[in-house]
Each structure stands twice: as C-alpha cells, then as structure tokens.
C-alpha cells in the first residue's frame, strides 16, 4: 500500500528581526491512508509549525525546504492555487482554540456551508441540507437552529464539534488536528476524540494529531513523533513507544501528564528549565541543559537519529534502557 503522505527532510524557518528562527529541522515522517500519527511536544517545539507546513498554511515570513509528497505527488513546490485545491477536500485542519477559530461575525450556517458551496459547488439548498446532516453527525442537538447561531452563543465543546464538522464536510483524506482538545474540559475531551475516531473510521481518513499531551495520543494514534526544539527526537509506533521509550524527554513529557489519581493541589512534575533560543544553533543536544542524564558528550555533539528497530527512531546518546 502506498503512503498517503511522505515528509522528507522538512525544515521550516522564520525571518524575524532578530534573525532566522529555525522552527522545524529535517523532519521525516510517513503516513498511510486511514493511519493516524501523533506529534507531541511542548509549546514551541515546532509541532504546530510542522503540521501547518505540511498543509502550506505558513505565513509569508516562513521559509520551507524539504519534500512533501501527498498521494504520490510532490506538493511542497506547488503554487498556492494548486495547494488550495487540496485544502478542504484533500486535507483539512481542526484548530486548537474553537473560541478563536470560528469567525465571530458570521453565523454557523454560513461558515459550515461555505466550503460546501465553494469547493463542492453545491447549491445553497443542498449545502444547507448537508450542513444539517454534518451537525447531526457531530451530535449537535437541534441542528436546524444551530445554523442561525453565532459562535459566541455556543459552549467550547459545541464549537469544537462544529469545527470538526467543518473540517470533515468535504470528506478529506487527511485531517490535521492541532490540539483539538486542549481548550476543552476533560470530560468533553474524551467525547471529541471518540467522535474524531468514529468519523475517521467511516471515511478511512488519516489524521495528524498535534498535542502536548502524551495521554491524549495514546488511544487514538498508530504512531507518535515526539518533537523538541524543532527536531523529531523520537519516532515510533504508539504501542512500542509506550513500551520502551528511549528519550529522557519523552519520559519527562509522560510524567507531566495530570492523572486522575494525582491528588488535587499537588504540583505536577514539570520539566525544569526552558527551551533553548530558537534563533541560535545549539552545538550539542538541545535538551542537554534540562536532561537528568546529561553528560559531556551531550553538550559537545548533537546526537544523530538512531534506529532501535521496528521503526523506532530516537535522537539520544544515552537512551533509556541503553542502546540496542
């Protein structure tokens, strides 16, 4: 089976007044149809940029190198117009904050039917019918009434459902979900993720799930890529990663997930220190300053991507459990 998406050596930088900001370095990932990948990392690790870079939604100050092959077609150097033809129908995106990602000045109905009319050339009546159907599929009560509402009249969970409805409205093959649940209550989070899985299953849609929360990706992805300071530092099938994670950073991420059994009021273990300045190149491992297992070598030399077998890649001189 051919891959739906093949990302190779993708790097993204931004021109800023203080110099070049390297947000993503030499990322290489693949995704089969219907498959789902989680991209995990702290804020500023480059995960959102990576997903937007694939879609081509970067601002004009960004520079992008490397190759992105979608359905066997190189899309990284396509003109914007042709890329746009893929959006909505081929790839679609679900945004982090349903509060800001819906246009506050337009009614739900018009936002929902917009891509139907523009992309699928439906007439207004059909678009409306389809909208109602979509709303029903994302389990919105009174879908007819919903069409006339403004976003500010809805709760966060409702809005996220609507955003999902918009994203899937044109039946995309690939769905980017950028922290789709971060802004939601824990109980709603689970429902939304369930809903996404259902919808994907119906259409065999692949998904890139971007999150900072290792807990979220666990049950909903096939593979996981952990990013740190622009690098993919660990890349493995989900089950394997959880079974034998190699990166101290991944471990630290996992420890920082709130758990139900954590007593309320106790502080979550956080990762000490901060991300390095993205405009400066670091000589050694970028995580060195924060790593509990750091040694001289880590500061002196940047670790290459090493293969632990079974598609498990990592970037560490001293992985947990030792080098295979």
Partner 1 sequence: MDFLQILAKRLVGLVVIVTIATFLLSLLTWLLPGDAAEVIAGGAAPQVIESIRQDLALDEGVFGYYWNWYTGLLTGDLGRYYLAGGYREVSEVVGQTLPVSLQMLIYAQIVSLTLAVPLGLVSAYKENSRFDRIVSSTLFTMVSFPSFALALIMSLVFAVQLEWVDPIGYVAPSENLLEHLKLMILPVISISVGLTSSYTRLLRNDVIQTLKEDYVTMAASKGISDRRILFRHVFRPSSTTLLTSAALNMGGLIGGTIVIETIFVIPGIGYEIFYAIGSRQLIAMQTLIALIATFYVFFNTTVDLITQVVDPRTRERRV
Chain residues that interact with partner 1, rule: CB under 8 A? 52, 55, 57, 60, 84-89, 91-93, 95-97, 100-106, 111, 114-115, 118-119, 150, 152, 163, 166-167, 170, 176
Per-residue DSSP letter, 83: H
Q: Which of 161, 290 has the CB closer to partner 1?
A: 161
Neighbours of 262 (CB within 10 A): 12
* Side-chain half-sphere exposure of 86, counting CA atoms within 13 A: 22
Question: CB of 120: closest distance to partner 1 in angstroms?
Answer: 10
Question: CB of 115: closest distance to partner 1 in angstroms?
Answer: 4
Q: Which of 76, 96 has the CB closer to partner 1?
A: 96
Supply φ then ψ for residue 283, to 5 degrees. -70, -50
DSSP for 215-246 reads: HHHHTT-SEEEEEETTEEEEEEEHHHHHHS--
CA distance 157 to 40: 22
Question: CB of 111: closest distance to partner 1 in angstroms?
Answer: 8
Q: Which of 100, 295 has the CB closer to partner 1?
A: 100
CA distance 168 to 136: 13
Q: Which of 175, 174, 177, 288 lies closest to 233 in space, CA to CA?
A: 288
Question: CB of 88: closest distance to partner 1 in angstroms?
Answer: 3
Question: CB of 83: closest distance to partner 1 in angstroms?
Answer: 9
* Side-chain half-sphere exposure of 314, counting CA atoms within 13 A: 25
Tokens 């480059």 belong to: 46
Question: CB of 184: closest distance to partner 1 in angstroms?
Answer: 15
Question: CB of 169: closest distance to partner 1 in angstroms?
Answer: 8
Per-residue DSSP letter, 74: E
Q: Which of 12, 93 has the CB closer to partner 1?
A: 93
Q: Which of 140, 183 has the CB closer to partner 1?
A: 183
Tokens 């990392």 belong to: 41
Q: Which of 150, 242 has the CB closer to partner 1?
A: 150
The two tokens of residue 6 are: 């093949």
| Secondary structure class of 248 (helix, strand, coil) | helix
Q: Which of 118, 283 has the CB closer to partner 1?
A: 118
The two tokens of residue 218 are: 């666990």
Cβ–Cβ < 8 Å for 77, 69: no
Question: CB of 211: closest distance to partner 1 in angstroms?
Answer: 16
Q: Which of 85, 307 has the CB closer to partner 1?
A: 85
């Amino acid at each position: 089976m051919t891959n739906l998406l093949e990302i190779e050596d993708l790097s993204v930088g931004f021109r800023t007044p203080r110099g070049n900001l390297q947000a993503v370095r030499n990322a290489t990932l693949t995704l089969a149809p219907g498959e789902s990948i989680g991209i995990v990392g702290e804020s500023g690790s480059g995960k959102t940029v990576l997903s937007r870079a694939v879609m081509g939604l970067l601002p004009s100050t960004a520079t992008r190198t490397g190759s992105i092959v979608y359905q066997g077609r190189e899309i990284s150097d396509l003109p914007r117009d042709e890329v746009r033809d893929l959006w909505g129908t081929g790839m679609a995106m679900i945004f982090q904050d349903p509060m800001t990602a819906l246009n506050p000045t337009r009614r739900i109905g018009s936002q929902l039917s917009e891509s139907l009319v523009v992309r699928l050339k439906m007439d207004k009546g059909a678009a409306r019918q389809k909208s109602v159907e979509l709303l029903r599929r994302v389990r919105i009560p009174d879908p007819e009434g919903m069409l006339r509402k403004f976003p500010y009249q809805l709760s966060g969970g409702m809005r996220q459902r609507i955003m999902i409805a918009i994203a899937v409205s044109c039946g995309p093959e690939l769905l980017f979900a950028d922290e789709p649940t971060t802004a939601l209550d824990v109980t709603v989070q689970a429902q939304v993720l369930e809903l996404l899985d259902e919808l994907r299953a119906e259409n065999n849609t692949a998904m890139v799930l971007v999150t900072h929360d290792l807990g979220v990706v666990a049950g909903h992805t096939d593979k996981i890529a952990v990013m740190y300071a622009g690098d993919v530092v660990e890349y493995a099938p989900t089950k394997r990663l959880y079974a034998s994670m190699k990166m101290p950073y991944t471990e630290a991420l996992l420890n920082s997930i709130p758990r139900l059994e954590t007593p309320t009021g106790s502080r979550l273990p956080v990762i000490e220190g901060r991300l390095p300045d993205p405009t400066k190149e670091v000589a050694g491992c970028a995580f060195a300053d924060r790593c509990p297992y750091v040694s001289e070598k880590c500061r002196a030399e940047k670790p290459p991507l090493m293969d632990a077998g079974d598609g498990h890649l990592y970037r560490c001189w001293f992985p947990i459990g030792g080098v295979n």
